[in-house]
Amino acid sequence: MILGTICVRAGSKGVPGKNIRPLCGKPMILYTIDAAKKAAALDDIIISTDSEEAARLGKDAGINVPFMRPENLSNDRAGKWEVFKHALTEYEKVSNKSFEYLVDLDVTAPLKSSEDINAVIEFAKKHSDADLIYCGYEPDRNPYFTMVEINKSGYAELVKTSDTAIVRRQDAPEVYSLSSAVIVIKKEALLKYSHWTECKCKIFKLPRERAMDVDTELDFKFAEFLIQNKNN
C-alpha cells in the first residue's frame, strides 16, 4: 500500500503563513489536497501538522488528520525525514495498516498535478531498486559553469570542476534542482536511514513550471502569475 502525506508546519520565515495563505483566492494547502485526492495511485492520505487551521482545512476537504504533530517535530530545526518517520509509524499504529511506500506531497509546490503524482509513483515501482525518487528540473545555473563559492583564500572558484574548462553552458554536465513536489520513499529505507542522502536515489524529471517551490514572496507572486496564466 502507498501512503500519501501532506506535511504542514505552522511557522514559516520566508513567507509567513504561506501554507494556508490564499493563492489566487484559495488557501495554498488546498492545491496539494485537490491533486492528492485525484491521484489514483495513493491508497490513503493523511495530513501531519501542528497547525489547527491547516488541520481544519484538511478535514473540511475530506482528508484524514489522525493526530497533531508533536512540538519537537514542528520547529524550524526539525528535519522533514523525522517528520516522515513519525507520520508513517504513528499512522500505521492507529490505523492497523501497513505501507510499502510513503509519498510526501509538499504544500509549497502547489502547481503539481494528480497526473504528476501518479507518474512519479509509477516511476518508483518501475525502478524498484531505488530507495527514493526525488523530482528534479533543469536549473537556472550550472555548478560546472556559472555557480561559484568563496575558497579559504577569499577568492571565487567554480563549485564543480571538470578535467577541461567548460566554455559553453550546453557542454556542462546535466544537473538538476530538486523539487519537493512529490517525494517517494520506500518504508524500509525511511526507517533504516537518518537522511535521504544515504539512500539510492533516482530523479524524476518534472517541468519547472509544476516543480517550483514557494519559498519567498517573489516565488509566491510567480506562482500566482502561473496559475492566472493557466486559468486564462
Rg (CA), the chain: 19
Name the phi and psi angles at 13, rounded to 5: -85, -40
pLDDT in tens, 57-88: 999 999 999 999 988 777 767 689 999 999 99
Rounded mean pLDDT of the chain?
92
Question: Would you say 66 and 84 are in contact if contact means Cβ atoms under 8 Å apart?
Answer: no
- Show the cell assigned to 119: 507518474
Greatest mean pLDDT range, 30-39, 70-79, 133-142: 30-39
Q: What is the predicted pLDDT for the residue at 13?
A: 64
Residue 14 pLDDT greater than 70, yes or no? no
Question: Would you say 181 and 135 are in contact if contact means Cβ atoms under 8 Å apart?
Answer: yes
Residue 225 burial by Cβ neighbours in a 10 Å radius (0-12, 13-18, 19+): exposed
pLDDT in tens, 81-104: 999 999 999 999 999 999 999 999
pLDDT in tens, 166-187: 888 888 889 999 999 999 999 9
Distance CA 78, CA 116 (A): 27
Residue 17 pLDDT greater than 90, yes or no? no
Assign 232 a pLDDT band (cuts: 50, 70, 90): low
Assign 115 a pLDDT band (cuts: 50, 70, 90): very high
Q: Which residue has the higher pLDDT, 155 or 17?
A: 155
- Summarize the confidence of residues 133-139 as an average pLDDT: 95
Percent of the chain at pLDDT exceeding 70:
96
Residue 222 pLDDT greater than 80, yes or no? yes
